[in-house]
A and B are shown apart, each in its own frame.
Chain A
Amino acid sequence: MNELLRAALVIARRDFTAVVFSRTFILFLLGPLLPILIGMAFGGLGEKISSTDLRPVVGIAMSPSEAARLERAHERLAERMGEQALVRLRRVPLTPAPRIQLAQPGAGVVAILSGSVAHPLLTGKPEDLDKMQGDLSLIASAAQAEDTLRLVQVERQEVTTSTGAQAQARLLIGRIAQVVMFFLTILLAGMILSNLVEEKTNKIIEILAAAVPIDAIFLGKLMAMLAMSFVGIAFWGGTAFAIFLALHGGASVLPAPAVGWPVFLILAVVYFAMAYTLLGSLFLGIGAQAATVREVQTLNMPVTMGQMLIFFFASYAVDHMGSTPEIAACIFPFSSPFAMIARAAQDPAIWPHLLAIVWQGFFVALIIRIGVLLFRRHVMQSGGAWWKKLFRTTTG
């Protein structure tokens, strides 16, 4: 085992330095920052768009006194519900008839409310009427009640804990952690597919295979790519944190996940490593069978689709803690890291995580082993029935 690890470290070190000290690694680091910068630029634009008042405008074709009653009622309700919650009102002439006014160019209103406060008539397209009928009924009711409508004052009693709010917050943390982990694995694990192509095209595989067990080659490559991923994550995470501090001044208090932030962060790192190595070992095994870069590219799409399926499964489970699908997602090795990080956000128990990590680790080893044996059989053209050698210590 020590020899296997030693050999794996030699391979890992070579791969890691070859990647990290290459010029393309700078692009790799900067690549994910581009969407953030673009997002920030478009975010400013979005803010401008959202500040523009896009609420529908309803024309009031009533006598001045009736129109004034509606306006006062609108104002009183807006105080409580907020301007954005209600349609806007604008007085329009009593003639011509609303149907004709709406057909004229430059009408400026979506629908017209005519008649009286007691018997209002709303004219407009059916879908607009569906949207605004309720709002206008409320405004008209408030206008009719006028002074007799007393708005009740709600007293405030502040508490420090609310399990409902906490559960909501933890669910959100679980979801965010899942999404972040998923994007990181989909961004980073796919690279492993083509990892053995260099060795095969440059004929180095023969030298490696003669010197160390192929298990060590696979393990070393996974370790190198995982280490490289951590470098990337540290860089992106650091940048994101700096941007967060710059925008929020560090004043925001994040709700704590069920296991607490320190344990949650440790688990997030471990589960990312597990998700990465689980998918990575599978990709390495699949990619190792490919002879050329073109074959690897062809494999990329189905592999990504597989990742998406796993993510959907795990994200369905996050809302259904303790349900059969959630437990299944925790047990199924490929969805397990995603389901378990969501569980860490919502459930304080630690032991299921220890169990899950061992379980996932076992599958990493198993998948590497199967990948190695298939590689020996199909690429190196060695050995007979591969399953007979599944649990031997090393090959060769």
Chain B
Amino acid sequence: MIGDTPAPLPTLSSAYAVEGHGLVKTFGSFRAVDGVDIAVPSGTIYGVLGPNGAGKTTLLRTLLGIIDPDEGHRTLLGADQPLRMARQVGYLPEERGLYPSMKAFEAIAFMGALRGLPLAQGRERARVMLEDYGMGASVEKPIRQLSKGMAQTVQLFGTIIHEPRLIVLDEPFSGLDAINQEKLEALIREQAKRGVTVVFSTHVIAHAERLCERIAIIAGGRIRFEGTVSDARDSLRPQVRLRTRASDGAWRRALPADTMAEEGAWHFALPDTGIEPLLRALLDGEAGIESLSIERPGLHDAFVAIAGAAAAKQMQDAATPEAQA
């Protein structure tokens, strides 16, 4: 579904790890979340995409019960009061925070203890996790002595130490180098394999495209699209890229009205009638076909179409350093 009027979501049931209906959250006169309906199927990797300021973090905080919505209803793992399910949820906030004087393994165990994991068990697991990840030398180090990336890893381990059923990660890739981004992607997949529901927000479309089974595209506090990545891509018609030797002729009339010339090639969406009538016209009109390709649109193209070019550009600008990484 595309546009301002989302199609009705499936009936709420326990098949969904996270559900929200008509959620509204305002800060002063600013509507950060504006009537959001969302349902995250259990056991899926779910991405919340949007540019900065779109309302992703506010939506996640509302769903987790950190803040209450002004309007609407939410359930987390079937509970009306999200904190009641805190033991089964892991949350990595956008703004990372740890006690600087705590040792790495203690910080992880503490985060587990907050969510009901006995401290001794947490310490043991934390040591194993850090050692398995190649951070054995940092186990006893205070957080203030760790690099930013290492501290972020510690916090991520603190998020999953208690083996939650639902993991919510707010911009988890931000601040990580390419290697650690890959490791995080692998970790998310591994958790999903175990049946854990993973919800993460991102402004890097590539991560969502690689990882997510379902996505929600959010802009201006509203969900503009909700569905699978494939649905999002299929929401646009395939794109045709045509290169001809002749630059003009009767054959030009056969090109669709929205055709754009770019870098010596014609770009247009595949017409509803298919490619055959166009091919015939090109051949009859002696356009001299050099190359012709029909490409399925990427998630980025879909995002541009759904959220708007401005939002897409903002996303791209914000993501540039990470994309390069």
Contacts and interface: CB of A to CB of B under 8 A. Distances in A.
Contact of A202 (B68, B86, B100): B100
Contacts of A209: 66
B10 interface: no
A210 B86 CA distance: 7
A394 interface: yes
Contact of B97 (A10, A203, A381): A203
B113 A18 contact: no
A293 to B, nearest CB: 15
B96 A6 contact: no
A383 B27 CA distance: 11
Contacts of A22: 101
A13 B98 CA distance: 16
Given A210-B64, A210-B66, A382-B67, A18 B114 contact: no
A32 to B, nearest CB: 25
A207 interface: yes
A376 B64 CA distance: 14
A202 B308 CA distance: 36
A213 interface: yes
A380 interface: yes
B83 interface: yes
Contact of A211 (B61, B81, B99, B115): B115
B60 to A, nearest CB: 10
A212 B67 CA distance: 13
A206 B100 contact: no
B114 A7 contact: yes
Most buried by B among A10, A212, A376, A384: A10
Interface in B69-105: 70, 81-83, 86, 89, 91, 93, 95-102
A89 interface: no
A18 B99 contact: yes
Nearest to B91: A210
A394 B83 contact: yes
Interface residues of A, number: 31
Given A210-B66, A211-B114, A202 B93 contact: no
Interface in A247-303: none
B110 A10 contact: yes
Interface string B116-148: 100100000000000000000000000000000
B65 interface: yes
A204 interface: yes
B140 to A, nearest CB: 14
A205 interface: yes
B111 interface: yes
Contacts of A382: 66-68
Contacts of B101: 18, 22
B114 A10 contact: yes
B91 A207 contact: yes
A223 to B, nearest CB: 15
A248 to B, nearest CB: 43
A206 B67 contact: no
A110 interface: no
B196 to A, nearest CB: 17
Contacts of A376: 67-68
B64 to A, nearest CB: 5
A202 B101 CA distance: 11
B69 to A, nearest CB: 9
Interface in A183-198: 198
A11 B83 CA distance: 16
Contacts of B89: 210
A203 B95 CA distance: 6
Nearest to B27: A381
A204 B98 contact: yes
A208 interface: yes
A381 B82 CA distance: 17
A395 to B, nearest CB: 8
A14 interface: yes
A10 B83 contact: no
Interface in A372-390: 376, 380-384
A162 B135 CA distance: 75
A206 B95 contact: yes
B97 A14 contact: no
A44 interface: no
A138 B168 CA distance: 92
Contact of B99 (A13, A202, A380): A202
Nearest to B70: A384
Contacts of B67: 376, 380-383
B86 A211 contact: yes
B53 to A, nearest CB: 15
A396 interface: yes
Contact of A396 (B27, B83, B110, B119): B83
A18 B95 CA distance: 22
A202 B102 CA distance: 12
A206 B116 contact: no
A11 B119 CA distance: 12
Nearest to A10: B113
A380 B158 CA distance: 22
Contacts of A11: 114
A11 B86 CA distance: 15
Contacts of A210: 61, 64-66, 86, 89, 91, 93
Contacts of B65: 210, 396
B81 A207 contact: no
A310 B89 CA distance: 45
Which 7 A-B residue pairs are closest in the complex by CB-CB distance?
A203-B97, A382-B67, A396-B83, A396-B65, A211-B114, A204-B97, A206-B93
16 contacts: A14-B99, A18-B102, A198-B99, A202-B100, A204-B98, A206-B93, A210-B61, A210-B64, A211-B91, A376-B67, A380-B66, A381-B67, A382-B68, A383-B68, A384-B70, A396-B82
Interface of A: 6-7, 10-11, 13-14, 18, 22, 198-199, 202-213, 376, 380-384, 394-396
Given A14-B110, A206-B93, 4 more contacts: A207-B114, A209-B66, A211-B86, A211-B111
